[in-house]
Amino acid sequence: MAKLHIVTEGDRVLRLKSRPVTEVNDRIKTLLDDMTETMREADGCGLAAPQVGVLRRVVVVETEPGVVYELINPVIVEKSGDQHEVEGCLSVPNKSGYTHRPAYVKVEALDRNGNPVTYEGRDLLARAFCHEIDHLDGILYIDHAEMIDN
């Protein structure tokens, strides 16, 4: 595994829409492994491929130590409720702001073996899923955050 460079606000790649993964192969599996290592070393709870300069629809999320969600081509298929919490982002260092996110989401994706998976998330996990999936469409949390602190 290798630690990847995390691109930061101002880098054009963060504003582009990512392409779907058409084949889950060894390159995608290596990307998942490298993204997980990078996220952990940066003390984050999620990382999307565009944040490491790769325009593919790939996300990793770890809100509980040791429980890593690997999402390929993720889609939010259900959401409900509302939470208003502070968010930050590895690609927007030293800032945070309040966002409104669903309190519950259901996500469909492919796993590292290309098998369909469905995950449900509440609270922090729901927020992390939404945050990382937004990255795949070139959206940063600061686009809809309130009271951004430096």
**SS3 (DSSP) at 142:** helix
91, 9 in Cβ contact below 8 A? yes
Q: Is 146 exposed, middle or buried (0-12, 13-18, 19+ CB in 10 A)?
A: exposed
Strand partners, 105: 79, 121
- The pLDDT tens digits of the residues spanning 105-143 come to 999 999 999 999 999 999 999 999 999 999 999 999 999
pLDDT score of 147: 73
| pLDDT score, position 2 | 78
pLDDT digits (tens, 9 = 90+) for 10-37: 999 999 999 999 999 999 999 999 999 9
- Average pLDDT of the chain, as a whole number: 96
Q: What is the mean pLDDT of residues 67-76?
A: 98
- Work out the widest C-alpha separation in the chain, in whole angstroms: 42
Look at the pTM and tell me if it is higher than 0.85.
yes
Three-point CA angle 81, 82, 86, nearest 5°: 150
With bands split at pLDDT 50, 70 and 90, how would you rate the model's confidence at 148? confident
Q: What is the mean pLDDT of residues 44-67?
A: 97
Work out the pLDDT band at 149, boundaries 50, 70, 90: confident
pLDDT of residue 150: 66
* Chain centroid, CA 143 distance in Å: 15
Does residue 44 carry a pLDDT above 90? Answer: yes
Tokens of 1: 């595994």
What domains can you pick out in the chain, each with its CATH number?
12-149 (3.90.45.10)
The per-residue pLDDT for 60 is 98
DSSP for 50-87, written as a single string = GGGT--BSEEEEEEETTEEEEEEEEEEEEEE--EEEEE
Using the structure block, give the residue that is written with the tokens 């999620």. Answer: 46
What residues are labeled active site? 132
- In angstroms and rounded to an integer, the radius of gyration of the C-alpha atoms of the chain is 14
